[in-house]
């Protein structure tokens, strides 16, 4: 992995926006303990950068998809609780126990294989039992199997701690609540009166924001909302109570005045006007900007300027409103003067969800914490 620190292209992560989003989410949900999902390079915002800023901003624990992400956080010196949301192969149980990680478990067989791997380890492995109430992904679907697993992890002779239990909603961020309620009813059928561990967490961002009065929210697992993206994309709540966290900016690296009808970029799909000023930016589709971003207006000198021609792998061109010098700041996502481009604006231009656009932002992009 190479991070490009020598080109003037960077992602700025706003510390104050994160702190704001954490406190708003805490207030609305009533959460006492908040895991921030930092899987997939923190939704593209940058794993280490986000983890540090989020802990400073008031988050209590972190949730990752895979063991490697958890180990990267431990190596970066993060001591907060870390939950691995996906299933880790049982041969890594010992590594998880030694690094004080919480492992998500979906069946008894896994526990028995993991117990074997943990035989000569002093540390017990912290277990998070997954309950599948209708996501259809991972987790126990039968009450008896879940009860058996609980008995097994609670047994003092097994190398486990019954630390946590969770379920995940497939549709907590919709105006139609039917499926959410179906899943919540399944949760009660599957778990009521079974022994509960210290951490019981059902809510993702959508459930924490829109359903806090219907389910336990002492512990929540939030992602989207802390990154400043409204989970329902404006259909349940307006998004102005959140602050955008991510700015993507670059600088003009090359500027030229064009003759009439000159072609721009691969496929020569754009032709210039006489005297048109074309600026080249050191960022392209290999940085994770969708190629369909063509035509999107970036911000420069307090004005809007469209991306012209096809994005190239590492560079792209914009049509400048006037002659501007090399080094002028160009904001692709973020605010300049009276204008603002949000991740949602980019997402709408390319017909994707904002978190899909964000997770595409590549590791090559330099990430820094600002304000």
Ligand X SMILES: *Cc1c(COP(=O)(O)O)cnc(C)c1O
Least distance CB 363 / ligand X (angstroms): 19
Rounded to 5 degrees, what are φ and ψ at 190?
A: -80, -30
Q: How far apart are CA 55 and CA 138, in angstroms?
A: 28
Q: Are 295 and 349 in contact (CB under 8 A)?
A: yes
Least distance CB 347 / ligand X (angstroms): 15
Nearer residue to ligand X within complex by CB, 204 or 217? 204
Which two tokens mark 272?
Answer: 């210039």
3-state secondary structure of 250: strand
Site string for ligand X, 258-297 (x = CB under 6 A): ----------------------------------------
Determine whether 152 is an active site residue: no
* Element at 103 (helix H, strand E): strand 101-105
State the alpha helices, DSSP H only, in the chain. 15-29, 39-43, 47-56, 67-75, 93-98, 108-117, 143-154, 178-191, 205-210, 343-350, 354-359
Q: How far apart are CA 118 and CA 274, in angstroms?
A: 72
Site string for ligand X, 77-96 (x = CB under 6 A): --------x-----------
Q: Which of 39, 43, 162, 285 is catalytic?
A: 39
Contacts of 32 (CB under 8 A, 6+ apart): 218, 219
74 among annotated binding-site residues: no
Q: Are 260 and 286 in contact (CB under 8 A)?
A: no
Least distance CB 210 / ligand X (angstroms): 11
Least distance CB 108 / ligand X (angstroms): 21
Nearer residue to ligand X within complex by CB, 132 or 249? 132
Tell me which of 12, 20, 168, 367 binds ligand X, using CB under 6 A: 168
Rounded to 5 degrees, what are φ and ψ at 313?
A: -65, -40
Q: Which of 27, 56, 254, 266 is catalytic?
A: 266
Nearer residue to ligand X within complex by CB, 61 or 206? 206
Does the footprint of ligand X cover residue 37 (CB under 6 A)?
yes
Determine whether 227 is an active site residue: no
Q: Are 67 and 91 in contact (CB under 8 A)?
A: no
233 among annotated binding-site residues: no
Nearer residue to ligand X within complex by CB, 208 or 278? 208
Nearer residue to ligand X within complex by CB, 126 or 224? 224
Near ligand X in 196-235, by CB under 6 A: 204-206, 221-224, 231
List interacting residues with ligand X (CB under 6 A): 37, 39, 85, 168, 204-206, 221-224, 231
Binding site, annotated residues for substrate: 137, 313
- Catalytic positions are 39, 266
């Amino acid at each position: 992995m190479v991070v490009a620190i020598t080109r003037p292209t960077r992602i700025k992560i706003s510390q104050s926006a994160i702190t704001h989003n954490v406190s708003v989410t805490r207030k609305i949900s009533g959460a006492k303990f908040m895991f921030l999902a930092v899987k997939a390079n923190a939704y593209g915002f940058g794993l280490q950068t986000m983890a540090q800023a989020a802990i400073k901003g008031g988050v209590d624990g972190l949730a990752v998809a895979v063991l490697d992400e958890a180990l990267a956080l431990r190596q970066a010196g993060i001591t907060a609780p870390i939950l691995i949301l996906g299933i880790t192969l049982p041969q890594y149980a010992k590594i998880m126990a030694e690094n004080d990680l919480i492992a998500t478990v979906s069946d008894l067989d896994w526990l028995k294989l993991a117990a074997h791997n943990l035989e000569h380890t002093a540390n017990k492995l912290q277990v998070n039992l997954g309950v599948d109430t209708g996501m259809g992904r991972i987790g126990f679907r039968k009450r008896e199997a879940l009860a058996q697993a609980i008995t097994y992890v609670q047994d003092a002779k097994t190398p486990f701690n019954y630390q946590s239990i969770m379920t995940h909603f497939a549709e907590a961020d919709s105006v139609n609540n039917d499926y959410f309620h179906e899943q919540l009813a399944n949760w009660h059928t599957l778990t009521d009166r079974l022994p509960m561990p210290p951490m019981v967490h059902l809510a993702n961002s959508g459930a924490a924001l829109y359903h806090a009065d219907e389910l336990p929210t002492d512990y929540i697992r939030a992602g989207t909302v802390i990154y400043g993206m409204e989970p329902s994309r404006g259909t349940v709540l307006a998004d102005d109570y959140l602050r955008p966290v991510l700015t993507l900016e670059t600088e003009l690296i090359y500027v030229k005045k064009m003759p009439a009808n000159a072609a721009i970029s691969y496929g020569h799909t754009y032709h210039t006007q006489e005297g048109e000023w074309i600026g080249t930016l050191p960022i392209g589709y290999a940085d994770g900007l969708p190629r369909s971003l063509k035509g999107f207006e970036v911000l420069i000198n307090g004005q809007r300027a469209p991306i012209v021609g096809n994005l190239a792998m590492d560079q792209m061109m914009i049509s400048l409103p006037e002659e501007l010098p090399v080094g002028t700041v160009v904001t692709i996502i973020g605010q300049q003067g009276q204008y603002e481009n949000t991740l949602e604006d980019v997402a709408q231009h390319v017909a994707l969800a904002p978190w899909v656009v964000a997770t595409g932002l590549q590791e090559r992009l330099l990430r820094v914490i600002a304000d």
